[in-house]
Structures are given as C-alpha cells and as structure tokens.
Structure 1
C-alpha cells in the first residue's frame, strides 16, 4: 500500500474530528428506515423548539466521540432550512479545566456566543446593535482593555481574563436580569428580521469535569455542574431558545434535572449493534460498515468479513472503529490490502488500552451488568457509573428504553468471550 493512500486514510479517519452534514463522510444513523439510536435525538430537540410558544432551554449529552457535534450541526442545518437563525458556539474554548464550573461561566458564554468575530459594523443589523449593547454592559461591569472589536478575541484567547470577568460578574447583583435583557434584545432583533433565534452551546461538557482529580475533588467539579442546572436553573433559561451540552455523568441525576430544569436530559446513545438480548443487530452492523466505507473503500479490504468483524468489536462507538482503521494503516506495510491479521492486531492494540484501565471494581460491576444490560440502582454503583461512562468502559443504548452494556473489548476479560461473534459469523457477507 503506497504512502499517499495511507496518508489519505489517516486524514479521513481522525477519531476526534466531527463531520458536518455536508461532508461526504457523514452518515445518518437516525433515518426513519434505521432508527439505530432509538428516538431520533435531533428530531426531539427540533420539535421542542418548533412547537413552543415561548423560548426553550434544553440539555443534551453523550459520550465524547459519540457524534454530538455532528448531530448538532445537522440540527443547525434542519432549523436553518425551516427559517430559524441558529448560532452554534464552542463553549469549551472559554471554560477552564482548572476550577469547577460556575453558572456565570455559562451566562458569559451565552453573551459571547452572539458576539460577532471581528468588527461588529461589518455584520450590521441587529448583530451590530447587540455587540454595542454587550460591550456597554461588560465594560460598565468589568473594565476591559481594547475596543469593541477586541472583546470576543480577548476573552477567547485569554482563559485567565475570561475567568476574571466571570468572577467579577458573579459578585454583581441583578446579573441574571441584565444578561437575560441583553439576550432578549438580540432575540427580538432577529425576530424582527423574520428569524427566531436559537443558541447552541456545544463543547462545554468537555471542560471542568475534574476527570484527572482524586474522587473527592472530582465530586466537587461534578456538583458544580449539577448546581448550575438544578439549583440555579432559572439563570440558564434566558428568553431565547438555548441548547446546552452537558457531561454524561449528569444522567445519574436525570430525574432532578427534569424536575428543576423543566426538560428531559437527552442522551445520544451508541449505534445499536447488538439487541438487548445479545443478538447481533445486522442492520446496525451494515450501517456502520457503510459509514466506514465512506472513509475507506471496500476494495482496500482483503475480504468483506473484515470491516464487519471490526464493527462487531467497537460496540457502536464509531470513534473506536476509526481507531482500528488508523492502527491498521500503521501496520499494513507493503501489503496491498488490509487483512484479517491486520484487523486482529489493531483490535488487540486498542483493547489493551481499555483493559489497562479496567480496575477490579469495574470488572465486578460489569460482570453483573453484561448479562442483564441493566445498571444496578444501588448508590455505590450509581456513583461508579460516572467513571464507567467517562472512561468508555460502558455504553448506553436506546431500544425500547435506555439500557447499558460493557464495551465488547472487555467481554473476554469479564468471562464472556463466547458472546463475541467470530470470523465465521461474517463469512459470505458483503
């Protein structure tokens, strides 16, 4: 296999790269003929906005790499085609990993999401007027250096400055009213031009989670997330349609979020490759294979069983499938096509990374989980859910209701090697 072909595979199979709905690599697992992730995620978000008589605020989550950004970009396109003005911003660029999240962080992120890049006068209309109002508001509360055009760039490139501004805002009285009034003005300006405004704050769930801290410190980070959307929910429900991405550990207190924030937490599940009873779901397998072939054509595999065997090991987590292909590309050498041996070596390599992180407590819980696909409801296990989801040791699926399973790469280690389909299961396919 020549160098340029390998380079094209590496470029096409970047595990951390979201793809938009216009990208030829994009594959929709939620078409009416498939429904491989249960009730379509983005359809529900869109319906809540479209049927509402007043502004809505919604919460979405899912494991990192499960396709949240891709789905939100699809939602952005769908809403735009229906006449909405959608602003999608990466809130992760403003939040810090060094301290717990605050409600003021997210409120300031909402303000910056609508603030234009560059010179506001180049945009014109309500955006220009909003930028002037936002500048006056921020500069009256917190003295900023530079002119109006430098506000967003400064707060984006200087994390310390963002934190300082958020902290100073936190000490002010009437902050919620001021920011809500500011956002209401933007919503009215957009509406007067014939477009209802929607803000999507993506990327926040990747920050301020305390993943690398000790358990007590990590729980502090988690509790700040819960406090923002449970205790201070009113602050994060501005008079404009808003969608927030939140960390997957928040599913642990989904009922409280529903009661206090007023909407259900929408969890983007994995693609369903296995039914809840463990039977292989062939439509799911074939859909994943087709999605893979949009990046690496079928002709580059020595036989059609190879991509299907790879899919059966990824658990519906497309990012792992891309990891398999990346590792195979490094191992293929001068061979003209990918072989079963390359596939086995690549899967073993990725599997080892998972097994190294699988501690005794995880194994005990997952051994109980895998046969039933039901997560234990005792308090100790619920706390453990955070690390299992965050560490991709456990996946969530929707098929007649939510259910969980251990990552297939751990099944053999847990004593369920026979549950994995072997090569013979996929021979004669394609």
Structure 2
C-alpha cells in the first residue's frame, strides 16, 4: 500500500533526527562510548593536562571529519568551566581562509582577533579599551611602509578580509614577514593582557583562562596549491611552534590528522603536548575486517537515542549493514541511513531489510570514484599493512585526500591503525598492480 501520512511522518522525523549538528553538553542524544573507547577519553585527558599546567600551555586535538571534534570541544569547555576555568571557544573558519597557505602572521592575528571578540562578548569591554583589530591596524600602519597596503587599513574589516579575500591575506603575509617577531610579541602581549583582564573581572588573580581554537584541522590545499598549503601547516606547527605558546593562556588547537604523519613530534616543540585523537567507532576487531558486536551495539544506541522508533523503519540486520558500510564513521553512518529514506514508496517495504540498503551504499561509493590506479595500489598497501604507507613528502596531498574524504579511516583498538573505507574494499582488493586494472 502507498505511504500513509503516519509513515511519511516517521520517515521525516528519523531523517531530521540524523541531521549533522554539534551537540551541546547535556544533550540527551549524546553517547559517550562513541568517543570514549575503552579507557581512552581525550576530553578528560586534555582537561587534566590544562588543570595541571602552570602558567599556560598548549594541548592538541585531532581526528578525521565526522568524528565529533566540535561536540567534544563543547564537552571540554563545560568540563573545564565546572573545574573553575574561564573558557572561550573560537571557530577559526570564521577568521581565516582555510584553503590557502597559512603563515604564523595571519594565524596569530586570527587567534588574537578571536580572543578579542570572545572577551568583548563576555564582558562588554576589551583590554585597554581597544580591540585587537584596532591594535593590529595601528601596528601595521606604524611598522610597515607599504603605501597601498596601509592606505587600505583604515575602516577595513580585517576579519572579513582575512577570511574571504585571498589577495588581502597574501598582502598581510608579505608585509608581516620582516616583522614576525614584533607581530608575534604584539599578539602575545594582547593575549596575556586579555588573561589579566579576565582575572580582574573575575576577581581572581589565579583563574585559569583557556582558549579553544576549532577548525584548524580544516586547512587543506586544493589542486596545484595543495602541497604548498600542507607545507605551510608543517612550517606553522614546527618552524614556529614556540610562537604558538602564549604566557598565562591555555590553548587547545585542533590540528589536521595528517600533521602527525607529516612530521611527528609537533607537541614536543610546544612544551610536550601529545595530540589526542578521535577515531572511527571500532566496529571491526583489531586490524581486521571481522565485525565487533560491541561497536555495532554502540551505533545502534546512537540511533536509538535520536529516534527510539527506528525498528519500525529498519530491520536490525539492515541498520548493522549500514554501520559496517560506514566504517564506523558517525557522519557517514547517518548519511547512509538518510539516503535510504526518500526511496521508500510503500508501507509494505518497511521495515527495510538488509537487501534494501544497496542503493544507498552504491550512491555513497560512487562519490568516491573514480580512483586512479596508482592510488588503488597505495590503498592496497594500507589495507594490507594497516599503516599509512607514506613514502615521501611529495605524496602527502594524496594521503591528506584519503583522510579528508574518508577513503581511509583511522581506528584504535589499543593502538592506532588504518584501513580503506569498507565500500571500497572490493574495488581495492581486485586491483591488479601489474596490469593497472
């Protein structure tokens, strides 16, 4: 029989319940087991580190897209605030163009500008009654003699220009290169003054002040500029690591998942910070393709929390199949479920059986195709060794592409390992390196 109004409403409700969104602390649909696997809890570890650090420090947080970093940062904010800290959250994508090369100059300007706006929003005033943007404008006018550039500063929305104007971003970088030390000192001075300002407003000279910087992991190159962008990220976190630490302020940076592959040890240059990583739900046993019932149970619980009536729409075997096909990536899991729903035309189709989800799997697979033969050969090595198999720096953009687009997924069963996306396994396994087919 055709879809009844009640069934259509159920499908619509489930579809919207699985929409991608950042969860606030205390949201009843949050399932801790997704990102607290075994004894590992990245948020608790970072919170402890911040609470134990004296005089400021740096923590690093990473994971592939869709693993819930922003949700976990919100949880970290709440955890630290409950411990007495004043915590500010900033999304760097609101301040910085993330598809172009990044330099220490525009990065620090964006971080200081974000802190300035957060303090103003919280207290209605800025340190010294001047925003950082005003201070930066005066700094550039007084230190940089590049007529056309400085002439455009008065009245310019620097924040908007850094985010959306590649030419302005480039000119800031060029103008600041001879003044990096002074610019960094100016940004550090402002951030330290902001800490003092917050402590004064809180009437507590020892209050911890924390700034969470989200979306740094979204910096990625496009086309022929790709390698230059990835090299700029390496230079930012390795060549200028000491400038990413600020006296008195506790900073948590999200970083791209490829950074640890690009050059391990970034945290050591910033006072010993060890990157905490979110990974896909371990629906497979350690370094294998054997499904883990516990992991499948976690993903069923996630759907149950968001829509308790899901069993009227999916058989458990069908939902488990979609979980396996997602590779344990929560965002991909939700997307596969949502892809199935608009195709339902008749009440008699429900609940959907395992055989009914193939169309959604094919649609998701097609988005990852075609894959060049040389990439298939590399993916074969990853599937065989469960390592990234990066042999030379020049190949980094390809690995970053694998991770950013989830052709390769990161897992942790005691230690970290990698495997190709389950929807690509058949294609990857069948590739003949000798013939290129």
TM tier relative to shorter chain: 0.7 to 0.9
More deviation, 362-371/83-92: 362-371
Relative distance call for 1:398 and 1:381 in structure 2 (3 A) is farther
Deviation at 1:169, TM superposition (A): 4.5
* 1:48 match: secondary structure: helix
Change (3 A) 1:204 1:392: same
**Cα distance change of structure 1 residues 300 and 358 upon mapping to structure 2, 3 Å threshold:** farther
Deviation per CA, 1:177-199, whole angstroms, max 9, x where unpaired? 11111111111222342331111
Say which SS state the counterpart of residue 306 (structure 2) adopts. coil
Inter-partner Cα distance in structure 2 for 1:133 and 1:230 = 29
Paired residues for 1:289-368 under 5 Å: 289-297=300-308, 298-335=310-347, 337-340=350-353, 341-354=355-368, 356-368=369-381
**Of 281, 288, 300, the match for 2:292:** 281
What displacement does 1:115 show?
Answer: 2.1
User: Given the superposition, is the C-alpha separation of residues 12 and 171 from structure 1 closer, same or farther in structure 2, using an over 3 Å criterion?
Assistant: farther
Please report how far the alpha carbon of residue 371 of structure 1 lies from its aligned counterpart in structure 2 after TM superposition.
3.9
- The whole-number CA distance in structure 1 between the counterparts of 2:395 and 2:163 is 36
Query: Which ranges in structure 1 are unaligned for 5 or more consecutive residues?
Result: 417-430
**TM-score (ref. length: structure 2):** 0.82
Query: What is the SS of the residue equivalent to 2:22?
Result: coil
Q: Which residue of 2 aligns with 1:270?
A: 280
Query: Secondary structure in 1 aligned to 2:223?
Result: coil
| 1:301–1:371 distance in 2 versus 1, CA, 3 Å | farther
Note closer, same or farther for the CA distance 1:411–1:145 as it changes in structure 2 (3 Å cut): same
Match of 2:149 in 1: none
Checking the alignment, whether the CA contact within 8 Å between 1:276 and 1:373 is kept in structure 2 is no
Contact 2:137/2:154 (CA < 8 Å) preserved in 1?
no
Q: CA 1:328–1:146 in structure 2 vs 1: closer, same or farther (change >3 Å)?
A: same
Q: 1:188 to 1:350 in 2, by over 3 A?
A: same
Match of residue 412 from structure 1: 426
CA–CA distance in structure 2, aligned partners of residues 231 and 363 of structure 1: 33
Aligned counterparts, 1:163-174, within 5 A = 168-172=175-179, 174=182
Find the aligned partners of 1:374 and 1:162 in 2 and give their Cα distance: 36
Distance 1:160 1:89, change over 3 A: farther
Matched, 1:401 2:401: no
For the pair 1:113 / 2:114, whether they are aligned, the reply is yes
State whether structure 2 residue 234 is matched by structure 1 residue 221: no
Q: Where does residue 55 of structure 2 map in the other structure?
A: 54
Partner of 2:18: 13
1:246 and 2:230 equivalent?
no
User: How far does the alpha carbon of each residue in 1:268-322 deviate from its partner, in whole angstroms, 9 at most, with x for none?
Assistant: 2111111114232211110111102223333333422221221121111011111
8 Å Cα contact 1:376-1:382 kept in structure 2: no
CA RMSD, Structure 1 to Structure 2 (Å): 3.0
* Secondary structure of the corresponding residue to residue 294 of structure 1: helix
Distance (Å, rounded) in 2 between the aligned partners of 1:379 and 1:138: 39
Q: Is the 8 A contact 2:97 2:162 kept in 1?
A: no
The residue number in structure 1 matching 2:105 is: 104
Aligned to 2:139: 141
Q: Is the Cα–Cα contact under 8 Å of residues 97 and 164 in structure 2 kept in the other structure?
A: no
- Contact kept, 8 Å, 1:374 with 1:403, in 2: the verdict is yes
For 1:365-405, what per-residue CA distance to the aligned partner results, in whole angstroms no more than 9, with x for missing partners? 23233244234364379734323212211111122211111
Runs of 5+ unmatched residues, structure 2: 142-152, 431-437
Q: Is the 8 A contact 1:95 1:159 kept in 2?
A: no
Aligned length: 402
| Counterparts in 2 of 1:391 and 1:152: CA distance versus 1, 3 Å | closer
SS in 1 for 2:211: strand
Q: Whole-Å Cα distance in 1 between the matches of residues 266 and 133 of structure 2?
A: 33
- Shift of the 78–98 alpha-carbon distance from structure 1 to 2, 3 Å rule, reads closer
Q: For structure 1, which segment, 390-399 or 165-174, has the greater mean C-alpha deviation from structure 2 after superposition?
A: 165-174
Once residues 322 and 166 of structure 1 are traced to their aligned partners in structure 2, the CA distance between those partners, rounded to angstroms, is 40
